């Protein structure tokens, strides 16, 4: 279990750590005597903190400047104690995932009382989402072991902590120097009936073992077997939490595609039946589904699903040379997912070196931690950091460098509306044409419909589409051909970047198609490289109209969404006639 010790300088953190190690027998034999002897020779008063320094080999520096760890074992379990005076490194490590504390001990000097810094430390814990904490009121010897002094501090500090949603498990009056209530119960404070520091540490609840947590595997890649006649696909990734077995029902987020694990495959090793966290592996599925790298694979049976959406609340530690500003686009990497994201609002900013909190800042400077709301361009799946470490953490990239690390504290309801909601809103706001659809039908003699031609790039699609338009027009259909390019360079001229805004290009393209269909036309549209989810989106947008999906060239779809396959070397006229036949426009 990892425990971080925080507190104002000189309030006795290192002494407390040294004392704890000593009183629990975690100091190597002879070390104490060796240091005492050294102190005597140098006419220096012995400090328990030296024990710690000696262990860390940093005695010369007087104070520890980096996040330092020491190991310690109680009767109950092993601990890593993190001494964190260097806030910048500590915050960076905590937010980036290099270090993680399960609980915190906050040290306050009874003599000096609560300092501004003590409050900032409390706030720090709340920002890092550390839920378990204990407060040691130290140097009780200097406060004459006064119950009143202790109670006053406890009252004032509890009131502050409750405001920031930190509920300490215990307030413990201790003297690190004298060893009161550290590992041994104090005889000088009989009025205190609570736990010692050691008992408190042992009472903290351990995080569940990763294997026992709900299954999470961010999809790294999808491979295809290349052996002749073998068209199985492998879904590959690293199992972050939980475990799976062949036969388990699974679901991918955010696409919500479902399937079942057929087999678990490992390169160069015999077939395995089940697998647990920390391992990279790949799966074959009983039913092929279209999923993309970046999705999170989960088990259907497990209740705790990741959240999906465009927006979440996060605490970001910023390291970038340029400040983090609202509404600028950054690349966001979360698990294996990559997308672009903007900070929609900066709520509170904490200076990591002074720990000062600023609620009025609009940007986040280097070495500041900020509570923000993030909005992503694409919907993504994520967890709150308290639910899953690996999928509750992300980095922001600015100008090709990692400029910030963040932990997700929860989903935000104020994200952009999902596609379905957008379509609903459009339908509500749509001012209908004065001419009824039935009247148009009577005039044209044909219901509006969409023939969507896709396939890899440069596969003759446009020539086929134009031929089809000609043939349909000759037959009296109100045919109209449109390629996605016409939309990208017109309607979409504000968002050129094809890669970054792929989703939005597609959405607008489908909206344009929808208008043409509403006008009663027989629309022939082309767009390269459409996939299952693209087709589903287009179908959501054009809702009520009939659609035929024709695919030119290799069929790369894994789900059955293609109505018609057309070989890539087929003459446009023949291909167009095949489509007409499929739609019963011509007989042979
Ligand atoms: P840190 O900066 O929080 O790590 O504080 P240190 O552990 O270095 O302690 C600062 C000073 O307070 C040192 O001189 C310690 O000897 C002293 N100190 C620490 N704990 C106690 C205590 O319980 N009682 C008394 N009287 N002095 C203490």
- Residue 61 pLDDT greater than 60, yes or no: no
| Ligand 1 center from residue 178 Cα (angstroms) | 11
Least confident of 71-75, 147-151, 155-159: 71-75
Query: Does residue 177 line the site of ligand 1, with CB under 6 A?
Result: yes
Query: Does residue 117 line the site of ligand 1, with CB under 6 A?
Result: no
| Ligand 1 center from residue 11 Cα (angstroms) | 6
Please report which confidence band the pLDDT of residue 14 belongs to, taking 50, 70 and 90 as the band edges: confident
Atom of ligand 1 nearest to the CA of 19: 20
Coil, strand or helix: which one is 303?
coil
- Name which of 211, 215, 144, 203 is nearest 168 in CA terms: 203
Q: What are phi and psi of 526, to 5 degrees?
A: -125, 145
Convert the pLDDT of each residue in 235-259 to its tens digit: 999 999 998 888 999 999 999 999 9
Number of residues assigned to the chain: 588
Burial of 398 from C-beta contacts in 10 A (0-12 / 13-18 / 19+): buried
Q: What are phi and psi of 517, to 5 degrees?
A: -65, -40
Query: Does residue 9 line the site of ligand 1, with CB under 6 A?
Result: yes
CA distances from 262 to 238, 279, 348, 443 (A): 18, 18, 48, 54
- Residue 271 pLDDT greater than 60, yes or no: no
Query: Does residue 175 line the site of ligand 1, with CB under 6 A?
Result: yes
Q: What is the pLDDT of residue 499?
A: 74
For the chain, the average pLDDT equals: 87
- Residue 513 pLDDT greater than 80, yes or no: yes
Q: What is the pLDDT of residue 63?
A: 38
Task: Work out the average pLDDT over 218-234.
Answer: 81
Q: What is the pLDDT of residue 373?
A: 94
Mind giving me the DSSP string for 461-506?
A: HHHHHHHHHHHHHHTT--EEEEEHHHHHTTTTTT---TTTTHHHHH
Convert the pLDDT of each residue in 495-508 to its tens digit: 877 677 888 999 99
Please report which confidence band the pLDDT of residue 381 belongs to, taking 50, 70 and 90 as the band edges: very high
Task: Work out the average pLDDT over 263-280.
Answer: 70
Task: Work out the average pLDDT over 462-481.
Answer: 96
Q: What is the pLDDT of residue 97?
A: 60
Q: What is the pLDDT of residue 58?
A: 40
Q: How far is 433 from 419, CA to CA, in rounded Å?
A: 24
| Ligand 1 center from residue 580 Cα (angstroms) | 87
Atom of ligand 1 nearest to the CA of 15: 7
Query: Does residue 12 line the site of ligand 1, with CB under 6 A?
Result: yes
Convert the pLDDT of each residue in 161-187 to its tens digit: 887 778 899 999 999 999 999 999 999
| Ligand 1 center from residue 109 Cα (angstroms) | 9
- Residue 336 pLDDT greater than 80, yes or no: yes
Query: Does residue 10 line the site of ligand 1, with CB under 6 A?
Result: yes
CA distances from 304 to 237, 247, 435, 478 (A): 20, 20, 50, 51
Query: Does residue 138 line the site of ligand 1, with CB under 6 A?
Result: yes
Using a pLDDT cut of 70, give the percent of the chain over it.
90
Task: Work out the average pLDDT over 59-87.
Answer: 67
Least confident of 296-305, 412-421, 446-455: 412-421
Q: How far is 229 from 469, CA to CA, in rounded Å?
A: 37
Neighbours of 514 (CB within 10 A): 22
- Residue 66 pLDDT greater than 70, yes or no: no
Q: What is the pLDDT of residue 226?
A: 66
Task: Work out the average pLDDT over 1-17.
Answer: 87
Please report which confidence band the pLDDT of residue 261 belongs to, taking 50, 70 and 90 as the band edges: very high
| Ligand 1 center from residue 154 Cα (angstroms) | 20
Q: What is the pLDDT of residue 5?
A: 87
Task: Work out the average pLDDT over 286-305.
Answer: 93
Q: Are strands 307-318 and 401-411 parallel, antiparallel or unpaired?
A: antiparallel
Are the C-beta atoms of 411 and 338 separated by less than 8 Å?
no
| Ligand 1 center from residue 128 Cα (angstroms) | 26
Query: Does residue 526 line the site of ligand 1, with CB under 6 A?
Result: no
């Amino acid at each position: 279990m990892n425990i971080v010790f925080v507190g104002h300088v000189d309030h006795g953190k290192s002494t407390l750590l040294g004392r704890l190690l000593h009183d629990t027998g975690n100091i190597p034999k002879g070390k104490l005597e060796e240091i005492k002897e050294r102190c005597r020779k140098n006419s220096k008063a012995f400090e328990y903190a030296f024990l710690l320094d000696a262990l860390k080999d940093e005695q010369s520096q007087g104070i520890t400047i980096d996040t330092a760890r020491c190991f310690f074992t109680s009767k109950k379990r092993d601990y890593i104690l993190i001494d964190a005076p260097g806030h910048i490194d500590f915050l960076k490590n905590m937010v980036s995932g290099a270090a993680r504390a399960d609980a915190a001990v906050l040290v306050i000097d009874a003599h000096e009382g609560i300092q501004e810094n003590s409050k900032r430390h409390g706030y720090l814990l709340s920002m890092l989402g550390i839920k378990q904490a204990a407060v040691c009121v130290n140097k009780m010897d200097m406060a004459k072991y006064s119950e009143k002094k202790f109670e006053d501090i406890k009252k004032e500090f509890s009131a502050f902590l409750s405001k920031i949603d930190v509920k300490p498990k215990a307030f413990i009056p201790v003297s690190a120097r004298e060893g009161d209530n550290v590992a041994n119960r104090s005889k000088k404070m009989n009025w205190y009936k609570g736990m010692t520091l050691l008992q408190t540490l042992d009472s903290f609840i351990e995080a569940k073992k990763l294997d026992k947590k709900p299954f999470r595997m961010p999809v790294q890649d999808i491979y295809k077997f290349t052996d002749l006649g073998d068209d199985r696909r492998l879904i590959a990734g690293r199992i972050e939490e939980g475990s799976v077995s062949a036969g388990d029902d699974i679901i991918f987020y955010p696409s919500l595609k479902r399937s079942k694990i057929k087999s678990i495959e490992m390169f160069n090793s015999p077939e395995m039946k089940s697998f647990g966290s920390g391992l990279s592996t790949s799966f074959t599925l009983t039913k092929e589904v279209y999923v993309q790298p970046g999705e999170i694979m989960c088990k259907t049976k497990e209740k705790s699903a990741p959240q999906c959406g465009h927006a979440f609340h996060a605490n970001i530690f910023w390291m970038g040379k340029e400040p983090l500003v609202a509404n600028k686009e950054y690349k966001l990497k979360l698990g294996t997912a990559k997308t672009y994201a903007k900070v929609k609002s900066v709520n509170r900013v904490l200076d990591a070196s002074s720990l000062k909190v600023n609620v009025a800042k609009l940007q986040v400077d280097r070495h500041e931690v900020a509570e923000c709301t993030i909005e992503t361009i694409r919907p993504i799946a994520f967890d709150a950091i308290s639910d899953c470490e690996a999928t509750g953490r992300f980095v922001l990239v600015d100008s090709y460098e990692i400029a910030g690390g963040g932990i997700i504290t929860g989903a935000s309801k104020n994200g952009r509306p999902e596609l379905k909601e957008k379509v609903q809103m459009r339908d509500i706001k749509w001012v209908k044409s004065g001419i009824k659809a039935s009247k148009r039908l009577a005039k044209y003699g044909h219901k509006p419909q969409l023939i969507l031609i896709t396939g890899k790039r440069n596969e003759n699609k446009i020539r086929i589409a134009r031929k089809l338009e000609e043939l349909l027009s000759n037959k009296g259909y109100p045919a109209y051909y449109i390629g996605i390019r016409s939309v990208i360079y017109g309607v979409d001229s504000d968002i050129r970047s094809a890669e970054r805004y792929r989703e939005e290009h597609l959405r607008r393209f489908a909206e344009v198609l929808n208008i043409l269909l509403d006008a009663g036309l027989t629309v022939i549209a082309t767009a390269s490289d459409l996939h299952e989810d693209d087709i589903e989106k287009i179908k959501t947008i054009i809702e009520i109209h009939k659609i035929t999906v024709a695919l030119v060239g290799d069929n790369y779809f894994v789900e059955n969404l293609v109505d018609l396959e057309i070989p890539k070397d087929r003459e446009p006229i023949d291909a167009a006639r095949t489509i007409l036949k499929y739609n019963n426009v011509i007989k042979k």
